[in-house]
Structure formats: structure tokens, C-alpha cells
Structure 1
Amino acid sequence: MTATNHMDTSVQHVDIAIVGGAMAGATLALALARLSLSAARPLSIALIEAHLPDKQHPGFDARSIAIAHGSIFELSRLGLWPKLAHLGTAIENIHVSDRGHFGMTELNAAQFHLDALGQVVELERVGQVLFNELNKSEVKLYCPAKLAQVEPAVEGHSLVLDTGERLKAKLVVAADGLQSKVRSSFDLPVTQVAFEQTAIIANIQTDKLHQHWAYERFTQTGPLALLPMADSQGQPRLSLVWALDDARAKQMQTAPKAEFLAALQQAFGYRAGTFIDVSARHAYPLNLSYMPRPIHHRCVFIGNAAQTLHPIAGQGFNLGLRDVVSLLEVLKTALDQGDDIGSAAVTHAYLNVREHDRNSTIRNIEFLVRGFSNQYWPMALGRNLGLRLLSWFPPLKTPVAQKAMGWK
């Protein structure tokens, strides 16, 4: 690994430059380094990341995420899950309910002959592990460094960093999030849907062991999710994602602790026990953002740069990881055939592979957000009947569980 932040006017030529080193970008960089070891020809890989992996990193912050069973399978294939497994807390059961209505259902790992439906990890701790692995790899890491300018060219784009360094890459992979500098540099279109909701993110201490249960509860203001976490100093913890309208979220973010816990308890109920403490609260505006075509000349967009999802089903990283896996497969084929890895044939192959999964996931999540936040009685009746049917007829759960577990 090479880490630099000094002025340098020479040009570094690389095969692939990844812009953005959060979950998707760091995972891709490590997977490409592994692929390079067995590829027909070695790859030179650069990773450009603006922030060191600490509490100030927007991609490795205080949030926890659920890594679905299918994603763990893929991370294991890439050799990464063994490095992260010790950070995970298993989700063995998921309880889904609709507040104020009769609809509820459960998904249980044992029903599908699995140890767990997924694992919950804290992003800050994951970031430390991934960057430790990058330090041991052959990836050229430019951190902290920001992309200042992209100079397009037929044979490969030139990237100018705010450190003064310059790179030329046959393929640029944009993993630089919702406000992608790469996307804006090429002036590419992005579709955005505002849900007029804000997510309150925090860790909750309870008086009851979670026993590896996760909860998804739909309320009038939006979904409320609680994920099992590792205990802290012997105290049971749950990771909270609470979607509220913007005004209520602002109120709840600054409300006294007792008031916040009472409001949360009223919204969720006592199925997970009594809420006795809450960590620092963070607020994130909730929007759906996606690129109709996440490719450009010698450029591919992955993760949140390609699509940013509402957290209603916890599919953000899981979808982004499928971007990573698909890109790896396309690049491996190109390397095996001796093709130009930045060619239009390669970028369009990636587009074709990803189109169905991306579009169906985005459609399903928008339907869930609108359907479960709508109190129009026919809509409420329909969704509650659907939840009840899942309980009454377990075989119907299989496709739902497959989506929840990150299988296409």
C-alpha cells in the first residue's frame, strides 16, 4: 500500500482507480487485489479516500448495518468475512409488525436451516478492519485525499487530487456516495425521490436480552427498526433506525433522554423490553436516489454513488455489494480474454448484469416506503392481510426471506 498526501506533479498510471473508500469502495479494492493475484495479468489499483477511518468518516460512522446472509456468503468468497466475523451479532429471527393494526409475521433462521439470517456490524469498527487490510495489500491508497478534477480522455481518465497528485486510469470506479464528485464531473443525470422523512440513528440499552431478534415495525410516520448488537459492558443493546417526518425528527433528536425513550417506547411497544438508555442521536435525511445508467465512458458507478436507498429493508450495503461482485465477474472475464478493462464492452456488460436486480430492488423499496407509511384504509388492510398470510402459510415466506437475506 502507498499512502501519500504531498505535492507531486508526476502522473501515476493505474489500471483501476476507485474513488471513495467506504464500504463499497474498500471492499472492491481488497477484492480486486485478491483477483490480481490469480488473474491472467496483475492489476494496478488505486483507492482515493477523503477521510481516515475514524469517527469523522461519513461512511464509517456511528451507524450499524445488517449484512444479509447472501452478502456474508459473497464476503466469504472474497476472503473478507473471516476478517470481519468477530464484529458480527447474529440475526436469528425477524419480527415484522404494523403499529395499530393486526398484521405481523416472523422470519426464523431455523425455518430455512440456517444459523442466522444475517449479521449486524458497527461501521466504525468495520472501517478499521478494512483499512488495516488495505495497509497490507498492494492497493495504492491515497488518503486523506479528495478528487479535485477529472480530465476525460479516450484511452483513460486523468484524476487530479487536492494534494496535487495526478493519476491516469483505464477504468474509474465511482464509489463516492450520494454527492458523487465523479458523477457531477461528468454531469450525469440522477433521479431523486424525497420521502420527507429523517432517520434518527442511535443505540438503545434495554432491560431484556435481545436473544438475536431483529424488529421492523411500521408506524404512521414511517418504519422503525431495531437490530441486535453486542452487549456493551454487560448491557444489552439494540441499534435503532427510526424514520420520522422532518419536524418530529428534529424534535426527537434534541429531546431530553427520558422524553425520547418514552416516545420510542410508545411507538414500538414492549416486545423488546423496556428502553432504559440511549446513546448520542444522529439524524440522516431519507431519500431515494439512483442513476438510470450507472456507467459512463471508462467509468462505472457502484454503491451509494449509483443508488442510495431508504433503510426500510436494510438493503443499501447488500445491493452495493452485489454491484461489487458483478463488477468483479465482468472484470475477471475481460482479464481472462485479454480485453481492455475500461472498454465500452466491459462497462455495458456490467450495466446489463446489474439492470434487473437494481431496478427490482429500487421499485420494491419505494413500494414498501409508500405502502407502509400510508394510512388509507384499503392500503392498510391489504398490507396487514399480506403480513397475516405470511404467518398462516409459511411457504409464502420463502421469497420474502430470500430478499431479506440478500439473495437475488
Structure 2
Amino acid sequence: MTRTDTDLVIAGGGLAGATLALALAKVVPSLRVTVVEAFPLSPDALPESYQPSYDARSTALAWGSRLIFEQLGLWSRLSAHATPIEHIHVSDRGRFGATRLHAAEHGQAALGYVADNRWMGLCLMRELLDTGVQWEAPAEVVDMTPLAEGVRVSVRSGEATRELTAQCLVVADGGRSGLRDTLGFQTRTHDYGQHALIANVSTADSHRFHAFERFTDAGPMALLPHGSASRPGHQSALVWTLTNEVLDELLALPDDDKCRRLQERFGWRLGRFTRIGACNHYPLKLTTVDEPVRTGVALVGNAAHALHPVAGQGFNLALRGLMTLVEQFRLAVAQGASIGDLAVLRRYQTLHQQDWQQTVQFSDSLIRIFGQSLPPLALARDAGLVGLDLVPGAKRWFARKAMGIGGRRAMIDHPSATHREPTNHD
């Protein structure tokens, strides 16, 4: 096999790219990994302590994602600022239907967790300091050329561009990946004609580690417990689906009026809304790539599939895909094959495809079903939610979807992982 500058180039050092780099360092330490990140990161100059910000953006982690981070030896560090979701309440505004999930009923400590993105990034970087992963930042991958054995990757830093040879390039630079488009991958996009407004809010009543999924005639909204790993507090992470017109109107309002509008849509299950933080927003689109791999290159995370946030499954789906890719890289190295071989990458695609298809369908169907206001459909929704609450088998299926478990698990065990014996509910 031709000697290359590195074995793998990861384009993007965000949550997906950094997690992939860490997993490979733990599971396939013989691989030389280079992460190229546009943001000016400095892995050797991390803050000594983490001070959570009220306006910090966060990610919902399913129980299955916790299991993965446990395998990677990261959970003990990450859990210090991960707020557990012990209960989930799903309801349809103005209707009687509702269903409730409780972690204790499934033998788990939590159904999932909410963690600040910055905290997750810091945990990953601290863990990566003890590995041989190489970083180039600020820099970006601007192009890739196939070679007889591997790929040539063009990396730009400032005004200078240099070439790196590698066995494989993994594109992990997010849902608005310019590199994906440069390399000619074809995407399919369904525009929901809505925006997601993201903010942290405070309520008069404690969330008591409850997450709320509230479907309304204007779109779904979610409130996730946030702020403390041990004490039930009053802060929640809000995801509010709005039409473009309503979004513009809402953003122009003072905070007190924003809280009143939110109160009207969500109701009083957490008492009065007392504070809303900085509001971020982004357009909602379902984006998929039919063929996310080709010889020497693979798309992962949001670069391969971007979902509606209604079910909170975006990063969890991406994480399961990353572990499947790690599994295939490990097998390739053990067999003396190049990690960029099309057969290796197609096995990854085949194994991950069923998971992402089911997750996309699950998320998209929730939007389509709960986006209908016709009375017969509304009654059917009510019956479905009540049925989920009353029928143990249906409720267990729904809970396993929410927890991100029940599907195929990648075999990524390694000597340094923190092992946990699976329960009967895993």
C-alpha cells in the first residue's frame, strides 16, 4: 500500500468530527487521523473550568448515545453537566390525547440527557489531548482528488493551500456543507416552510426533569430540562417551530411579549414563563444524500442527512452512524485493506442505511401527521396518543425510539473503554 501523509482526513472538527476522531483513537489507534477545522481551535489551551452560559446552545442525547459515550470512556466527564430527561410528556394542543414516558418504567436512570454543545466540545477536546490525533485549525478542506491508491486533499489555511495524501476523506462539516457540494454529491431537500427558534427559557415551576413535546396547529414545540445534572431546576431548552412570517413578528417583540406568546402556545404545565434568552433560528429542511459514499470519501452527520428536530434524533442518528463507520474501519485495518476502499465504505452505508431511513421516516411522519388540522385526523391522533399511553407494547416501541435503542449496535469494544453490562431493557 502506498505510504500517505495521513490515513484519514476529517473535514470538520465539530461534535461529529471530534467524536469520530476520538472513537478512532480509542478503537483503531494505529490509524493516523488528521482533523481539519475552520474555527480557530486550540486543543492545548482549554479553560480550566466550565462556566455554563444561560444562552448556551444544547443537544439532546438519547440513552443509546450515553451508552456509546460510555464505551468511549467519555461519559464520566460529560455527565457532569448533562441534565437527565426522566419523563417525556407528548400532547396535542387543544386535544385530549397525550402519552407519557417514564425512565423508571424501562429500568433506566434516564430516557436521555441535555448537554451544552460547548461543554461537549470541551470534553471531546480534553479527551483528544491524550491521543495522537493531529489538528489543523483554522483551516478548511476545499477539494479532493482521487488517486490510484487513496485521495489527495487540498487544505487551505489563510492564503496558503497545501496538499495532503490519505487513504480516505470523511466530510463532517455540517448540514450546509460547501465541501459536499464541491465534490458533486447530490442532495434531496424537502423544505417544511418553517423555522426552528432555539432559546433557553425559565419558568416559575420546576421542570422536575420532564421534557415536553407539544404539537400545535402552528407546528411542534419542545421544552427540554436544562441547567443542572442533579437538581431539578427552572430552566429549559426551547425548540419552537414557526412559520417564516410569525418568526419575523416574534423576533421583533420585547422579551416579555415573547414569553406571553410562548405561554399562549405551550400552556401552563410549567407555570409562568419568566425569562427567554437569546433567540437563534434556522430554516427547517429534510436533507438526504442517496449515495453518501464513493471511493475514498464518506459523508457523515448532517452532511449526509439533516432532520427536523421534532424528535430530537439528529445528533443521535449521526453518532450511531459514526460508530458504524469506526467498526468498518477497524475491520478494514485488521484485514489489511484500505479504509478508503469502496467495499469498506459501502458496507458502512448498507449497515447505517436502515437506521437513517427509519429515523427519517419516524421524524417526518410526526410532522405530517401532527401538521394536519382536519377533525377526523385530529381525532385519530388523539386515539393514537391515548393508545400509546395504554398499550404496553406500543408504548415500549415508542420509548425505545425516543431512547435511541433497539436497533443494530456497532461492535466497537476496545481495551480502554468503560464497559457496562446491558440490562434486559437495552
In structure 2, the gaps of 5 or more residues are 43-52, 408-426
Return the alpha-carbon distance in structure 1 between the equivalents of residues 322 and 142 of structure 2: 24
Matched, 1:312 2:327: no
Per-residue CA deviations over 1:189-225 (Å, capped at 9, x if unaligned) read: 1110000010111100111111100000001111100
Return the alpha-carbon distance in structure 1 between the equivalents of residues 372 and 104 of structure 2: 33
Instruction: Give the superposition deviation at 1:235.
Output: 6.4
For the structure 1 residues 12 and 140, does the alpha-carbon distance in structure 2 shift closer, same or farther, using more than 3 Å as the test?
Answer: farther
Give the equivalent residue in structure 2 for 1:227. Answer: 224
Instruction: Give the superposition deviation at 1:359.
Output: 1.0
Matched, 1:127 2:153: no
Q: Please say which of residues 16-25 and 78-87 is displaced more in the overlay.
A: 78-87
**Residue among 256, 274, 277 paired with 1:276:** 274
SS at match of 2:249: helix
SS at match of 1:138: coil
Percent identical residues: 38
Instruction: Give the superposition deviation at 1:231.
Output: 5.0
Give the equivalent residue in structure 1 for 2:32. Answer: 44
Give the equivalent residue in structure 2 for 1:155. Answer: 149
Return the alpha-carbon distance in structure 1 between the equivalents of residues 232 and 219 of structure 2: 31
Per-residue CA deviations over 1:337-367 (Å, capped at 9, x if unaligned) read: 1112111110111111011111111112111
Return the alpha-carbon distance in structure 2 between the equivalents of residues 248 and 98 of structure 1: 20
Per-residue CA deviations over 1:15-44 (Å, capped at 9, x if unaligned) read: 11111111111100011111233xxxx110
Contact 1:294/1:301, CA 8 A, preserved across alignment: yes
Return the alpha-carbon distance in structure 1 between the equivalents of residues 120 and 180 of structure 2: 26
Give the equivalent residue in structure 1 for 2:301. Answer: 303
Contact 2:332/2:344, CA 8 A, preserved across alignment: yes
Aligned residues: 389
Matched, 1:22 2:14: yes
1:367-382 matched pairs, under 5 angstroms: 367-382=365-380
Matched, 1:323 2:311: no
Per-residue CA deviations over 1:94-119 (Å, capped at 9, x if unaligned) read: 00000011111100001101110011
Return the alpha-carbon distance in structure 1 between the equivalents of residues 99 and 291 of structure 2: 36
SS at match of 1:97: strand
Instruction: Give the superposition deviation at 1:234.
Output: 10
Give the equivalent residue in structure 2 for 1:110. Answer: 104
Instruction: Give the superposition deviation at 1:86.
Output: 0.6
SS at match of 1:70: helix
Return the alpha-carbon distance in structure 2 between the equivalents of residues 287 and 389 of structure 1: 30
Contact 1:230/1:237, CA 8 A, preserved across alignment: yes
Contact 1:318/1:406, CA 8 A, preserved across alignment: yes
Contact 2:208/2:232, CA 8 A, preserved across alignment: no
Instruction: Give the superposition deviation at 1:325.
Output: 0.8
Return the alpha-carbon distance in structure 1 between the equivalents of residues 148 and 220 of structure 2: 46
Instruction: Give the superposition deviation at 1:254.
Output: 2.7
Contact 1:147/1:181, CA 8 A, preserved across alignment: no
Per-residue CA deviations over 1:55-75 (Å, capped at 9, x if unaligned) read: xxxxx9942111000111011
Return the alpha-carbon distance in structure 2 between the equivalents of residues 69 and 226 of structure 1: 18
Instruction: Give the superposition deviation at 1:51.
Output: 1.0
Q: Give the letter aligned to residue 134 of structure 1.
A: L
Q: Give the letter aligned to residue 189 of structure 2.
A: Q
Instruction: Give the superposition deviation at 1:383.
Output: 1.5
SS at match of 2:184: coil
Q: Give the letter aligned to residue 168 of structure 2.
A: L
Give the equivalent residue in structure 1 for 2:199. Answer: 202
Contact 2:146/2:152, CA 8 A, preserved across alignment: yes
**Residue among 283, 286, 289 paired with 2:287:** 289
1:253-264 matched pairs, under 5 angstroms: 253-264=251-262
Return the alpha-carbon distance in structure 1 between the equivalents of residues 263 and 65 of structure 2: 32
Return the alpha-carbon distance in structure 1 between the equivalents of residues 40 and 248 of structure 2: 29
Q: Give the letter aligned to residue 154 of structure 2.
A: V
Matched, 1:182 2:169: no
Instruction: Give the superposition deviation at 1:165.
Output: 3.1
Contact 2:143/2:183, CA 8 A, preserved across alignment: no
TM-score, normalised by the number of residues in structure 1: 0.91
Give the equivalent residue in structure 2 for 1:73. Answer: 67
Q: Give the letter aligned to residue 219 of structure 1.
A: T
Q: Give the letter aligned to residue 145 of structure 2.
A: E
Contact 1:66/1:118, CA 8 A, preserved across alignment: yes
Q: Give the letter aligned to residue 352 of structure 2.
A: R
**Residue among 383, 399, 402 paired with 1:404:** 402
Q: Please say which of residues 384-393 and 315-324 is displaced more in the overlay.
A: 384-393
Matched, 1:332 2:326: no
Per-residue CA deviations over 1:113-169 (Å, capped at 9, x if unaligned) read: 111001110112211222232333211111111122222323122111222232111
1:335-374 matched pairs, under 5 angstroms: 335-374=333-372
Q: Please say which of residues 233-242 and 223-232 is displaced more in the overlay.
A: 233-242
Please report the RMSD computed on the Cα atoms of aligned residues, expressed in angstroms.
Answer: 2.0
For the structure 1 residues 12 and 336, does the alpha-carbon distance in structure 2 shift closer, same or farther, using more than 3 Å as the test?
Answer: closer
Return the alpha-carbon distance in structure 1 between the equivalents of residues 364 and 232 of structure 2: 38
Matched, 1:146 2:140: yes
SS at match of 1:398: helix
Q: Please say which of residues 160-169 and 344-353 is displaced more in the overlay.
A: 160-169
Per-residue CA deviations over 1:235-275 (Å, capped at 9, x if unaligned) read: 62000000011110122123111110001001001101211
**Residue among 86, 99, 102 paired with 2:93:** 99
Give the equivalent residue in structure 2 for 1:8. Answer: none
Instruction: Give the superposition deviation at 1:12.
Output: 7.0
SS at match of 1:199: strand
For the structure 1 residues 146 and 65, does the alpha-carbon distance in structure 2 shift closer, same or farther, using more than 3 Å as the test?
Answer: same
**Residue among 167, 170, 178 paired with 1:170:** 167
